[in-house]
Amino acid sequence: MKRTRSLCFGGQLSMNCQLMVSRDQLQTLVLPDLAVCRRGFFLPKGTASNQFDLVVIGGGSGGLACAKEASTFGKKVAILDYVKPSVHGSSWGLGGTCVNVGCIPKKLMHQSALIGQAIRDAKSFGWDVAAESKVSFNWDNLRVNVQKHIRSLNWGYRVQMNENSVTYLNAYGSFVDANTIKTVDKANKERIITSKDIVIATGLRPKYPEIEGAEEGISSDDIFSLPRPPAKTLVVGGSYVGLECAGFLSGLGYPVTLMMRSIPLRGFDQQMAHFVTDNLIVHGTDILWRCKPKKIVKNGTKLQVEWEDEVGKSNSDLFDTVLWAIGREPRLSDLNLDAVGVKCDSKSGRILVNEKDQTTVSNIYAIGDIQHGRVELTPVAIKAGKLLARRLYSNSQLLMNYDNIPTTVFTPVEYSCVGLSEELAVEKFGANEIEVYHASFKPLEFIPPQRVRERCYLKVICTQTEPQHVLGLHYIGPNAGEIMQGFSVSLKCKLTIPQLLNSVGIHPTCAEEFVKLNITKRSGKDAVVTDKVSAVFEGKYGGRL
């Protein structure tokens, strides 16, 4: 056997550093179908058999969670994952949208923008920043480090699949029948595999508008690996993706214009959504309201964008980058779902499922963003994937609860919420049957740098009748996600207003404003939380205590 420096997973080193492997592990080593991956680890491409207990189509968060969980019950599992490159050729490894072109790179770039804000605030906190004008941002450094982290996560998922004996196939999959999948790898090599159960977890991809020159624009599939600084950027779309990208690009110092055809953050509380856009403007983003793009023309290295405003007037401007953030859509045509009878919603194109995440074919399931009418969030897909595997292979009856899912929009001033929006609460219970406690506040850390224009606000929506069960919590301010996570647990535990207001806050924090709430919208009283210290900085009391 050829000597190598590589270690096999499961092998052990003896005291004299000799590699000790079992007979079974040795047999695995000498199989002809091995691939030597970077960093010296062996990863099996597959097994001799093409029969599985579970095949998962899609290597994103939900698919990986389901495959890994099923393997812990001794099931033979395969996972298929092949990323079709974007219009601009962007592709990535195992892990899906969140890891590669979503949550992870977005949060890192958001954090970079927050660090820029901290540098601007530093002098007021005593730091000597006389050379602040020489502080510069380097897009390539950020991009390279973000991509390094993503590749490490891609590798980690490959390792996890191997350690859990999950067969990983870097290939497309399409149905032959309800138990049979044809796979095609990048070399166009076909393979037929069969499985008792099949899970579809293919996720969504960004939409492109049907206008001339749309292909000149990029999407969230491309921005995090863009090989050049984005420079002057037009972001099109009022989704959370659009607002987040506009926010961190502005925070990194680029001129950004955000164009929206209708309302921002559709599906979110609209009062909070407009506070988010107000804060985007404060942080330097220009907003074009009720406008829609008509055409893009390449003009040297620039993009000439023509758009129409709400009264039908044509406008144009030059941009270095156009980023489409107008929504996401399924790409299911290659799966051959019609051949097996899996039904999709006629409007959204997403797969129809029941409360057990089961499609219209009894042994075929769907999880994650590809489901019709479900919350499109990574933690939801992960939880749903694990619960599905437990129902299939460990006699569990526990269903995924899609109610009261917390989420955060990582704009310069973050927005987080859980439960009902005010609009949905009114629709469900009636305006006279709900109460809204609210407060507008200034975080302590905003006071020394006199960040007086940013709007931080929170509200709690509850039933009008005792014991005033909480229906939804909303917060705009620093560290929104960190604050909302704990409150989301309390909402699951049937939180009431007396319980909330009888809690002791942690001082000084933004989170304590929740337990200090005492003003309702119905009262008409001013909800601004002020104290004499912050008021001095805002010019009240003649600038003195």
Whether residue 28 has pLDDT greater than 90? no
Say if residue 63 carries a ligand binding annotation: no
Q: In sequence order, what DSSP letters do the residues of 216-252 get, joined into one string?
A: GSEETTTGGG-SS---SEEEE--SHHHHHHHHHHHHT
413-543 shares the fold of 214-326:
no
Say if residue 242 carries a ligand binding annotation: yes
Say if residue 420 carries a ligand binding annotation: no
Q: What is the pLDDT of residue 133?
A: 67
> pLDDT band at 283, cuts 50/70/90?
very high
The CATH code that applies to domain 49-204+330-405 is 3.50.50.60
> pLDDT band at 129, cuts 50/70/90?
confident
Q: What is the pLDDT of residue 49?
A: 84
Mean pLDDT of the chain: 90
> pLDDT band at 135, cuts 50/70/90?
confident
| Fold of the domain spanning 214-326 | FAD/NAD(P)-binding domain (3.50.50)
Q: What is the pLDDT of residue 534?
A: 47
Q: What is the pLDDT of residue 1?
A: 42
What's the whole-number mean pLDDT along residues 401-428? 98
Whether residue 32 has pLDDT greater than 60? no
Q: What is the pLDDT of residue 142?
A: 99
C-beta separation of 95 from 157 below 8 A: yes
> pLDDT band at 11, cuts 50/70/90?
very low
**322: nearest Cα among 299, 349, 340:** 299
Say if residue 347 carries a ligand binding annotation: no
Residues noted as catalytic: 507
Q: Could you give the residue ranges of the DSSP H alpha helices within 41-94?
A: 61-71
Helices (H) and strands (E) in the chain, counts: 13, 26
Residues 295-333 have pLDDT tens digits of 999 999 999 999 999 999 999 999 999 999 999 999 999
Q: What is the pLDDT of residue 42?
A: 38
Q: What is the pTM of this model?
A: 0.88
CA distances (Å), origin 144, targets 109, 119, 485: 12, 22, 31
Say if residue 220 carries a ligand binding annotation: no
Say if residue 80 carries a ligand binding annotation: no
Residues 36-73 have pLDDT tens digits of 333 333 334 444 489 999 999 999 999 999 999 999 99
Pick the CATH number of 413-543 from 3.10.20.600, 1.10.357.10, 3.30.10.20, 3.30.390.30: 3.30.390.30
Say if residue 6 carries a ligand binding annotation: no
Q: What is the pLDDT of residue 132?
A: 61
Domains of the chain, by residue range, sit at: 49-204+330-405, 214-326, 413-543
Say if residue 472 carries a ligand binding annotation: no
Pairing type for strands 321-324 and 218-219 reads parallel
